[in-house]
Chains A and B, each alone.
Chain A
C-alpha cells in the first residue's frame, strides 16, 4: 500500500494514500470537530466546521473530504482555523433555535458542545430565521426544523432505509422535509428513528410519553406493568455515562421498581413464546408445502416497510405478533385472569430500543377483546429520562431480578436484540424439534456478526434449511429482490429494520458521531447480549419453564393452537399506495 507522509501541527504522520486529513489526524489522537460528517455515510464537506490550514493552499480546506498528499503541512489549531470555525458556528446558531435549557439533546448535542468549546457568542449575527413548521404528525417521531442545522446526516441515514426525507427548496429557504411538504405520518416513513440517532442536535426526537406513564403510576386504581426488550439492557447504562458495552439489566430492573411499576417483567419471556409460535409455523410450512420463505415479523419498522414497498411478500411474513405484542396480549388475558385483575385497569408499558414500537402499539390489529396489547411503548432514552426525573442515582442502585413468571427468559430470547439473534434462537428450537433430540450444539455463528446480509444452510436429518439474515432496509431490499427474481431460495429469512438490529435501534442512547466513527458501538452492545446468553442456565426457548409449563399448559394449549392464534398472531395491511 502506498503510504503518504505529511505533518499535522508539526507532527510527522504516515497514512495510506487516500486517507482524509480528518482520518489522518485521528491516528495521532486529534479529533477535528465536525457536524455533517459520518464516515462512509455522509462525506459532503458541507458544514465547514472541520476546516484546517494547509500550507500553500489558497483557502482553508475541509478536513473530512480532503485527502492528504505527500509533504502536506496541516495546521488544525492555527488562529485562522479557530476563528473560521467560531464564525461558522455563530452563523449556524444565527438560524438555530437556541432554547437549549429544556432541549431533549442538551448535554448530548454536538452543536452545544462545539459552541461551548469555541466560546461562541450567541448574538453575533441577529436577524431573520427560516420559516419552519413543527411536524408532530407521527406517532413515533417529532421533527423540529427550528433546531435543524441542515447537516443532512438524517437524510443520509434515511436514504439507506426508505429515503422519505431530504432537502427541499434552496438557500435560506432550505428545510429538511418530505416530498410535497407532506407530514411524516403521511409518507412511507417506517418510524425506525435512525434519523434521530444521526441528528447532531435536537431537530429529531421521539414522541415523549413520560408524563402519561408517571400519571398512570400515580393513579392507585391502575396496575402498571412494564416489560423491557433485550436490547435495552445492552445500552441503557450509556445514558448514565457508562462505557458502551456495559450490562444494565440489574440496575434497570431496580430502577423500574423504584419508579413505581407494579410488576417488572421481561420481553425475553415472550421472545421465547415467539420462537415456539414462529418455529412451529416454520416447521408446518416446510412440511406442508406452505408459503416460503417464511420471514420474521418482530420488527415493526420492517413490517411497515414490507407493507409499503413489498406487498407481494405479505403472505411470507410470519403471522406471529412481535414479542412486545405477544407479551401484552398474554398480560391482559392469562395474567390478568390468573391474578384476578380486570384488564381495563392494567396499563401495559414497554421499554423498547425502538421508536417504531410506538407505531406498532397503535395498530388496530394489535388488540384482543377490546384491549390494546400494549398501551405505551417508551424508548430506552425515555426510561433514562424517567430515572433522572425521579432522582434515582444509577450508581447507587442494586442489581435486582425480574418478577416471576413473566420475567423468565432463556439465552435464545436475549439474543433477539441483535441481528441474527432471532434466526439463531429459532434454529436452536427447530433443530431440536426436527431431530427429536436435545442437541448440545447451540451456537450458530454463521448468522452472527454485523454484516448487513448473512446466509447459511443447515442440515437436519433429511432436511436442508437455507436461511438468510438481513438488517437495515437497504439490505432487506436486496434480499427480497433476489428472492423475487428467483436468484435465491430460502426457507427462512430474518429481517430487522435497523442496521445491526435492535441494539442499534432508533430509541437507544445517542452516541456522538465521532464515537460511532471510531468505536464499534453495535458490536459492543451485541456482546452484552451474547454474554448473557452464555451465562443463562437455559439457552433454548423450549426450555423456558414459564412458557412451557405455565402459560401453554394453563392457557394457550400448544403452539399455533386456536387460542394462540387469537392472542399471539396477527395480519398485515397493504400500504403500497402511500407516497414513497
Chain B
C-alpha cells in the first residue's frame, strides 16, 4: 500500500523543534544518522509531517526526497498524526481467520482512509495491529486502546464509528452551551 502524506495542518511548537535540533546536532556527523533522527522526530511529533521531513533534510544537507524515500519505505514511520479516536484492528492469526481483514476493509471504506492514515478532520485514525491477547473474542478491534469490541462482524462497524461521531457532536454542543 502506498503511503500518503496527511493534509492535516502542521502545528509543531518551538519546544519540539528545539528538541529535534538538539538531537540532530548530537548525531549529524555519525554515519547512518538519518533513520535514528527520523525515529526521534516521530517520538517528538507523533508522526513525520512534511515540514519536519524538510527540516531534517535541510539540517543534514540532503534532498527532501531522500528523507521521504526512507519514510515511505519503512512501515514504522507514520506520515499521518493519530486521530482523536485511534482505531486498531487486530490482524493476529486468530482474528485474521475469523475475518478481521473484512472488518478492517470496511472501516477503511467508511472513513475513506488507509491503515496508518488519519481523517482530514483529525477524528479517526486506523492501524492494523498484532495480537492483542483477546483471541477468545476474535475478531477484535479497539478504540484508543481501551474500548474493546469483540466477535465483530463487518456489518457492525458503521454503528460503532457513528457512536464516536455522536460523542463528538454532543461534546461540541456541550462546549457551545458552556
Across the interface, A166 reaches (CB within 8 A) one of B5, B65, B74, namely B65
Given contacts A166-B69, A167-B69, A168-B69, contact A179 B1 (CB under 8 A): no
Across the interface, B63 reaches (CB within 8 A) one of A162, A167, A168, namely A162
Q: Which residues of B contact A579 (CB under 8 A)?
A: 54, 64
Q: Is the CB of B2 within 8 A of A179?
A: no
Given contacts A131-B2, A180-B5, contact A169 B67 (CB under 8 A): no
Q: Which residues of A contact B68 (CB under 8 A)?
A: 166, 168, 179-180
Q: Which residues of A contact B62 (CB under 8 A)?
A: 163
Q: Does A181 contact B (CB under 8 A)?
A: yes
Q: Is the CB of A163 within 8 A of B69?
A: no
Q: Which residues of A contact B65 (CB under 8 A)?
A: 163-166, 168, 178-179, 187
Cα distance, A165 to B68, chains bound together (Å): 10
Q: Does A170 contact B (CB under 8 A)?
A: yes
Q: Is the CB of A166 within 8 A of B2?
A: no
Cα distance, A162 to B64, chains bound together (Å): 11
Cα distance, A277 to B68, chains bound together (Å): 44
Q: Does B3 contact A (CB under 8 A)?
A: yes
Cα distance, A159 to B58, chains bound together (Å): 16
Q: Does A99 contact B (CB under 8 A)?
A: no
Across the interface, A169 reaches (CB within 8 A) one of B3, B53, B64, B66, namely B3
Q: Which residues of B contact A178 (CB under 8 A)?
A: 65
Across the interface, A179 reaches (CB within 8 A) one of B4, B67, B73, namely B67
Q: Which B residues between 56 and 108 are near A, CB-CB below 8 angstroms?
A: 57-58, 62-69, 72-74
Q: Is the CB of B66 within 8 A of A166?
A: yes
Q: Measured between C-beta atoms, what is the minimum distance from A224 to chain B in Å? A: 40
Q: Does A553 contact B (CB under 8 A)?
A: no
Q: Which residues of B contact A167 (CB under 8 A)?
A: 69, 73
Q: Which residues of A contact B54 (CB under 8 A)?
A: 179, 579
Cα distance, A580 to B54, chains bound together (Å): 8
Q: Does B28 contact A (CB under 8 A)?
A: no
Q: Measured between C-beta atoms, what is the minimum distance from A144 to chain B in Å? A: 18
Q: Chain A, 131-165, contact with B by CB distance < 8 Å: what is the 0/1 string?
A: 10000000000000000000000000001001111
Q: Which residues of A contact B50 (CB under 8 A)?
A: 180
Q: Which residues of B contact A168 (CB under 8 A)?
A: 2, 65, 68-69, 72-73
- Which partner residue on chain B sits nearest A178 by CB separation? B65
- Which partner residue on chain A sits nearest B5 by CB separation? A180
Across the interface, A163 reaches (CB within 8 A) one of B4, B5, B58, B63, namely B63
Q: Which residues of A contact B64 (CB under 8 A)?
A: 179-180, 579-580
Q: Is the CB of B3 within 8 A of A179?
A: no
Given contacts A168-B69, A168-B72, A179-B53, contact A173 B1 (CB under 8 A): yes
Q: Is the CB of B1 within 8 A of A164?
A: no
- Which partner residue on chain B sits nearest A175 by CB separation? B2
Cα distance, A167 to B70, chains bound together (Å): 9
Query: Can you pick out 24 interface pairs between chain A and chain B where the beta carbons lie within 8 Å of each other?
Result: A131-B2, A163-B65, A163-B66, A164-B65, A166-B63, A166-B65, A166-B68, A166-B69, A168-B73, A169-B2, A169-B73, A170-B72, A179-B53, A179-B57, A179-B65, A180-B50, A180-B53, A180-B64, A181-B5, A187-B65, A579-B54, A579-B64, A580-B57, A580-B58
Closest 4 CB pairs of A and B: A163-B63, A179-B64, A179-B65, A179-B68
Residues of B within 8 A of A (CB): 1-5, 50, 53-54, 57-58, 62-69, 72-74
* Other A-B pairs, 7, CB within 8 Å; known A162-B63, A168-B68, A179-B65: A167-B69, A168-B69, A168-B72, A179-B53, A187-B65, A580-B57, A580-B58
